[in-house]
Structure 1
């Protein structure tokens, strides 16, 4: 056997000294999932709160609009209901004309009158293409049941009817005035519920065409 030189195994180097060295804290890795949960919850809460507030605001506006509309309707109707009639349906008093002694309850929208007096108890209805002094151009009817609205309310409703009237181009050929007629407390008690608007001519029976379209 060959002689081999035995060399001693060097000892392990001692551990490096740690005393006196600064200790550096290593931060823990960020936990993305748990860190975002509070933010996600807060965002959902804010969205829910916004939706609830928006619904409340919209609901309030709808209620306010409905309340205002109901109030306006009560004011304009003066205790009555219905619409202003401005188109003859059915058509005005049929032929044969003229018809004398026609009473106000029998007047029809579109009727033309000779020698018209709105306070008269009877009038003569004539064809609108013949000489006449007035024509019934708008009507409002109160319900059959109800208390007397009062003179001021009736006058206001008659004015509303005149403002709603639509006249034909032929009416521009004449100098016409609007004239209103409405029930007295006495005629109201006897069943008169109609408010009328007429166009009239100051010069007598000078109109020879219908004023309505």
Structure 2
């Protein structure tokens, strides 16, 4: 009976689990591809920014020559594109973008005047504040507009840094503290 037994064999080494190196390499390759794509997009953005710089003309907001029932002539118009007599809906600050509407539609402010100051040297913040206020209050308003104490003067004026860049403009606004009106504050011959 001993003859039927198999001959002893050398033991085989234990089976090793398959290394996870391939999964880790795939993850690293995916991250590398994502990083290269992000870097490429950033380079394209920078190159296009320098090739086609934005110009002030590109930022001009178009005015609607025939506004509809809402009266909106232009929305989100920058302050430097406002025109004397523009009536403004939702006015909060002279430096914010504005919604220009027809003066016979509901609005709470109006650009009543613009002035160009003279001089080479910056006059100082307090002097400029006083001069701007005097200029704005000198604008002739329509006596039939119904102005009272609920109206407030607002104005934008050059800062010391913009003065050195050539800014000399004072823009004057008159706004309601609450509510809206549906008429211009300027006499008819003053509006453009």
Question: Is residue 64–residue 73 contact of structure 2 (8 Å, CA) maintained in 1?
Answer: no
Of 98, 103, 106, the residue aligned with 1:131 is 106
Confirm whether residue 184 of structure 1 aligns to residue 159 of structure 2.
Answer: yes
Question: Is residue 112–residue 134 contact of structure 1 (8 Å, CA) maintained in 2?
Answer: yes
User: SS at the partner of 1:156?
Assistant: helix
User: SS at the partner of 2:146?
Assistant: helix
TM-score of the pair, normalised by structure 1: 0.49
Question: Is residue 102–residue 124 contact of structure 1 (8 Å, CA) maintained in 2?
Answer: yes
Task: Please give the per-residue CA displacement for 1:147-197, whole angstroms capped at 9, x wherever unaligned.
Answer: 332211221221121221111133216642222321222333444321122
CA positional deviation for 1:121: 3.4
Instruction: Measure, in 2, the Cα distance between the counterparts of 1:123 and 1:188.
Output: 23
Residue in structure 2 matched with residue 95 of structure 1 by the alignment: 65
After superposition, residues 110-129 of structure 1 pair within 5 angstroms as: 110-129=85-104
Task: Please give the per-residue CA displacement for 1:114-171, whole angstroms capped at 9, x wherever unaligned.
Answer: 111225431111111111111111221124x733322112212211212211111332
Of 159, 164, 182, the residue aligned with 1:208 is 182
Instruction: Measure, in 2, the Cα distance between the counterparts of 1:169 and 1:94.
Output: 29
- 4+ residue stretches of structure 1 with deviation over 4 A? none
Task: Please give the per-residue CA displacement for 1:17-40, whole angstroms capped at 9, x wherever unaligned.
Answer: xxxxxxxxxxxxxxxxxxxxxxxx
Runs of 5+ in structure 1 lacking a partner? Answer: 1-92
Instruction: Measure, in 2, the Cα distance between the counterparts of 1:178 and 1:161.
Output: 11
Aligned length, in residue pairs: 119
Runs of 5+ in structure 2 lacking a partner? Answer: 1-62, 67-71, 188-192
TM-score of the pair, normalised by structure 2: 0.54
Larger radius of gyration: 1
Instruction: Measure, in 2, the Cα distance between the counterparts of 1:107 and 1:176.
Output: 20
